Amino acid sequence: MTVETTTKTYLNFINGKWEASSSGKTVASNNPSNRDDVVGIIQVSTKEELDQAVFAAKHSQKAWKALTGSERGAYLYKTADILENRMDEIAETMTREMGKTLPEAKGETARGVAILRYYAGEGMRKVGDVIPSTDNKALMFTSRVPLGVVGVISPWNFPVAIPIWKMAPALIYGNSVVIKPAQETAVTCAKVIECFEKAGIPDGVLNMVTGSGSVIGQGLVEHPDVNGITFTGSNEVGKMVGQGALARGAKYQLEMGGKNPVIVAADADLDIAVEGTISGAFRSTGQKCTATSRVIIAGEIYEKFKEKLLEKVKEITVGNGMEDGIWMGPSANESQLNTALSYIEAGKQEGATLLIGGNRLTGAAYDKGYFIEPTVFENVTTDMKIAQEEIFGPVLALIQVNTFEEAITIANDVKFGLSASIYTKDIQSMLSFIENMEAGLIRVNAESAGVELQAPFGGMKQSSSHSREQGEAAKEFFTAIKTVFVK
C-alpha cells in the first residue's frame, strides 16, 4: 500500500488559485494512529482571506447562476470521475488523517462519487410548478432561485461525504460556495477541492479557507455577503451558528448531535440485532452522529442478547486503520479520546456496571495513537450522563425494560432525535415504533447509522434546525421560491 511520504503544505483555494495565508501561521495535521506521522500542513487563515473568498464567491455567482442546470451538472459529473480515479489516494489520506479504517474510508469516498452524480442529474429536473390562477387570462407559476453565496462548515468525522453532500446541491442549484473544513481533516477536504479544480469549475465559484472556528467559522456566519450557512457539528457550536445567522437574517441549516437508541424486542432475531448494534456503535470508533449509543432490551431476552453482544465485542480488533484485519481505528484526536474516557469514568461514578472495555489501549502498537477499547455498560438508568449526553466514542449503554411501551418512553427520553432503530418481527411493534419515535431517521431491523444519499436526512428536537439534507429535499434549503404572476 502506498501513501505519501513527503509532508505537503496545503493552501487556501480562493478564486481559482491556491494561496498561503497572510498570517504566516500553519498547523500540522497528524495521524491519530501515530502522532509522529504528519499528514499535511494547513493554513491558519485570517479574516482577510475569508473576505477574499467571499468576494470571489459573490462576484462569480451571477455567471454561475446563468448557466443551465445541465451545464452546472457537467462540472459535477467531471468532478465525480476525477474523485473516483483518485479514490484510493483520498481514502488513504482520510484514514491517516482521522483514523477511520481504510475499507470505511473507501466506502465513504465512493459515496461522495455517487452524491456528485446524483446532484449532477438534479440539474435536469424541474425547478417549479404551474399553479392555477383565479384569473383565466393569467399564468401563475413558481421558480426556485439560488440563495447566492453559501457558507459550508463541515466536521471531521465524514471529511468527504459531508462536504460533498453540502457543496454539490449548493452548486447545482446555482449558488457559489465558501467552505471551512474542520482543521482535523482539512488535508482530505483539500484533495476533494482539487477534484473540482481539475474538473474546471469556474474561478470563484468554489473556495476553501482553513483556520479556526472562532475566526473563519464565525466570520462566515457573520459575513454580510454570505446568504446561507450549512453546518454539521456539535450542539453548542450549532446554536451559536444559528443565532449568528438569524441575527442578520441569513438562512441557516444545522445538523447536530444524536443519542440514538436501538430497541431489541422479545421476538427479535438476536444474531441480526447484535450484528447491527455492534456495527452501529463501534464502526468509525462511534464517531458518527447516527451511532448507536443506547440499547433498550426486552427483559426476557436481555441476558441472551448481552451474552451474544459481549462475545462479538471481544472479537473486535483495534489498531491502525491502514492495516489489514483492523475493525476499529483510533479516536480522531486527543480531545475526542479524553471526552470518551471522561464519560466512561462518569458512568462508573454514577453506578453503571462496566461489562467490557473502558480503557485507553497501551503498548508498542498503541502508545503513539489515541486508541480506546470498545466499551459496554449495563445497569444504566435514564438519568445518567451516559444515557443522556452524546459521547461520540465507542461507548454503549444497555438498558433493560419490561414492556414495549417502556422501551419507547426511554428511547424518547433525551433532548436529541436524530436516528432510532428497532429489531422485531412483529408488524404492530414496527408500526408503533415508526409512529411514536421522535427521530428524523427511523430504521427497522437495521442499524441506527446510515441513510441512503437520495433520501432526506436530518433530526428532530435538538438534533437539527428541522431542515433536511441530501436527496431532493436539499432543494428546500439551497433555494428560495419565487412566485410569478403573468397577466
181, 390, 397, 467 from 256: Cα distances, Å: 16, 10, 21, 12
325 and 441 share one domain: yes
Query: How do residues 202-221 score in pLDDT, each as one tens digit?
Result: 999 999 999 999 999 999 99
Whether the per-residue pLDDT at 2 is higher than 70: the answer is no
Asked if 92 and 102 count as a contact pair (C-beta separation under 8 A), the reply is yes
> Based on the domain organization, do 359 and 477 belong to the same domain?
no
> What's 425's domain CATH number?
3.40.309.10
Range of the domain at 46: 9-256+464-486
Q: Are residues 57 and 92 in the same domain?
A: yes
Q: What is the pTM of this model?
A: 0.96
State how many domains the chain has. 2
Tell me, what DSSP letter sits at residue 203? Answer: T
Q: What is the pLDDT of residues 290-319, one digit of tens each?
A: 999 999 999 999 999 999 999 999 999 999
Shared domain for 156 and 204, answered yes or no, is: yes
Tell me the C-alpha distance between 238 and 467, whole Å: 13
Catalytic residues: 255
285 exposure class (CB count in 10 Å sphere: 0-12, 13-18, 19+): buried
Please say whether the beta carbons of 469 and 115 come within 8 A. Answer: no
Mean pLDDT value across residues 437-459: 96
- Residue 451 banded pLDDT, cuts 50, 70, 90: confident
Mean pLDDT of 15-22: 97
Instruction: Determine the pLDDT at residue 387.
Output: 98
Percent of the chain at pLDDT above 70? 99
Does position 5 have pLDDT exceeding 80, yes or no? Answer: no
d(CA 229, CA 341): 33
Same domain, 57 and 153: yes
Same domain? For 327 and 351 the reply is yes
Mean pLDDT of the chain, nearest integer: 97
CB atoms within 10 A of CB 484: 12
In a domain, residue 457? The reply is no
Residue 338 lies in a domain: yes
Pairing of strands 260-264, 251-255: unpaired
User: What does the pLDDT look like over 272-296, one tens digit per residue?
Assistant: 999 999 999 999 999 999 999 999 9
